[in-house]
Chain A
Amino acid sequence: MTDKFDKEPADGKPSAGVSKEGTALAPEAIKAIPVRHYGRWISGVIVLGLLALLINAFATAKKINWGAVGDYIFDPTVLAGAGRTLLISILAMIMGVVLGVILAVMRMSKNPVTSSVAWLYIWIFRGTPVYVQLLIWFNLALVFEYLNLGPFYKDEMVQVMTPFMAALLGLGLNEAAYMAEICRAGLMAVDEGQTEAAHALGMSHGKTLRRIVIPQAMRVIVPPTGNEFINMLKTSSLVYVVTYNELLRATSTIGSTSYAVMELLFVASIWYLVMTSVFSVFQYYLERRFARGSLRQLPPTPWQKVKANLISIGGRERGASA
């Protein structure tokens, strides 16, 4: 929201390559020998060499049964575990984002009670390890035998605090504290003039927030949120401890019963890599979507880049043959 306005396109300038007589001559294309980057080549060769050694060490290790990795990669138990990892990560993230936005708005509220409550929440949930928080939720029945919500709901805590619930609350509530800080930074990054302009038009606080401020804050919020989600996919392996049967727990169980501990850890790693990679691509498109209006032209998608390169190569060849 800075001086974007000052950058006028510099058109209308006389173009180079117009000869004195006024006839436009195409300037001779520059044919220079590019700078040779020997360092890049040498370092590249060294890295590739080291990588080959490493791969070789694993591939030829007699104690690793690579066949087992192939056998178990699509095992139904493993797939179900990966599905649960995805499910708990998505649900916890949704919980984190929704609560995080609410906490961020509360934290910036003029009401001192509201902002203190949000501050306290963030202080506690960011200040303690998520592992400990998971264990606290899981063991809540030790101190509260019943969950009693007055006339609405009453049940034994062990019935309520299933592994799934403990995992969701542990991950989601913790994530909310981090998301609150990310959202707050995003909301504060939006120029105050935007709020003023909306208020001057007679828009309410809520509408100003929803229609004007939050959409602009998204540009700042989306990239770190994507990172948070990728982190969440991995952090969700901690819910192992509350006996929720996600990817790591599923693979470890098979690993220890079939004497293929390392192989199954590889299986888990492959699935984690697949999930994080897919979401990295998704995040790229999401960021592009929220850059709308802030750039004069959106950056090309990877596919558009490939297409443009192909066309330019084709074009050059055609030009040369003509």
Chain B
Amino acid sequence: MTAMVKAEGVHKAYGAVQVLKGIDLEVQTGEVFCLIGPSGSGKSTFLRCINHLEKINAGRLYVDGELVGYRQKGDKLYELKDSEVAQQRRDIGMVFQRFNLFPHMTAAENVMEAPIQVKGVSKSQARERAHELLTKVGLGDKAGNYPSQLSGGQQQRVAIARALAMEPKLMLFDEPTSALDPELVGDVLDVMRDLAESGMTMVVVTHEMGFAREVGDSVVFMDGGVVVESGNPREVLTNPQHERTQAFLSKVL
């Protein structure tokens, strides 16, 4: 197996505030990798570094063997141009806690937008694919609805379809169910479970311990910008070794 994501001593600071203090981890191709930890521990920040929405201050971050955001020549690093960064992001899908659907476009148009604008896919082809994807997430009949006419759970499933439309090799999920009413969480998790079964490599920040245990292949517990504990979710979540992990799990379970 090759590593889809490889982090080596990743540091990130906002001004004087150190948010990530040396993250080392590997996400294997095809696995579901869950990130858990208390609020403010740097989970979102790390996820955003993976597709270069944030610049890292030290360390190295690779996606599919390629350095994220930089080019290395000898021992010098060169920043990539905006267009090259955009090129790297094409292959990485991201799903946000707050959905971030485009409110002025219908569900289908949301899904069609990037393939048309970025990949130059024809409109009819993009439309066809959008309907396939919306059907796959259980929203075949909502293609013409604007986001404001959809429930939170439906919006998040459209957001997943939108990310999938770019045919990514890696999907990042940042607390995809945290903004949802409890009865809507299941639908979104079902879609993610299907996606995991289809072999997609997924990095999932979540508070859904049930999902992590059942679907996750690895889990990492982060606290204060460092990885505290990692391993198989069935082991880490049922029998945590570290005190901080135990304290966190006793609160969320």
Contacts and interface: CB of A to CB of B under 8 A. Distances in A.
A222 to B, nearest CB: 13
B148 A294 contact: yes
A202 B103 contact: no
A293 B103 contact: yes
Interface in B68-123: 82-83, 86-87, 89-94, 96, 98-106, 113-114, 117-118
Contacts of B128: none
B53 interface: yes
Contacts of B118: 201-203, 207
Interface residues of B, number: 39
B21 to A, nearest CB: 24
Interface string A202-229: 1111010001100110000000000000
Contacts of B90: 201-202
B176 interface: no
B103 A294 contact: yes
Contacts, number: 89
Contacts of B86: 199, 202-204
Nearest to B165: A201
B157 interface: no
Interface residues of A, number: 28
B89 A292 contact: no
Contacts of B218: none
B67 interface: no
B2 interface: no
A212 B118 CA distance: 13
B103 A200 contact: no
A292 B99 contact: no
B163 interface: yes
B149 interface: yes
Interface in A35-82: none
Contacts of B205: none
Interface in A150-183: none
A211 to B, nearest CB: 6
Given A5-B152, A207-B117, A199 B89 contact: yes
A193 B163 contact: no
B100 A201 contact: no
A142 interface: no
Interface string A1-34: 1001110100000000000000000000000000
Given A4-B148, A193-B98, A200 B104 contact: no
B44 to A, nearest CB: 11
A194 interface: yes
A316 interface: no
Contact of A200 (B92, B98, B99, B149): B92
A202 B86 CA distance: 4
Contacts of A196: 53, 96, 100
B190 interface: no
Given A8-B181, A200-B89, A296 B102 contact: no
A294 B51 CA distance: 29
B104 A216 contact: yes
Interface string B177-211: 00101000000000000000000000000000000
Contact of B146 (A201, A207, A293): A293
Interface string B129-156: 0000000000000000011110110010
A197 B96 contact: yes
Contacts of A296: 148-149
A187 B105 CA distance: 18
A295 interface: yes
A45 B105 CA distance: 49
B148 A211 contact: no
A294 B104 CA distance: 7
B12 interface: no
B162 interface: yes
Interface of A: 1, 4-6, 8, 191, 193-194, 196-205, 207, 211-212, 215-216, 292-296
Interface of B: 51, 53, 82-83, 86-87, 89-94, 96, 98-106, 113-114, 117-118, 146-149, 151-152, 155, 159, 162-163, 166, 179, 181
A-B CB proximity, top 9 nearest:
A202-B90, A197-B100, A201-B114, A200-B94, A193-B100, A293-B146, A293-B104, A202-B89, A5-B152
6 contacts: A5-B98, A199-B89, A204-B86, A207-B117, A212-B102, A292-B104
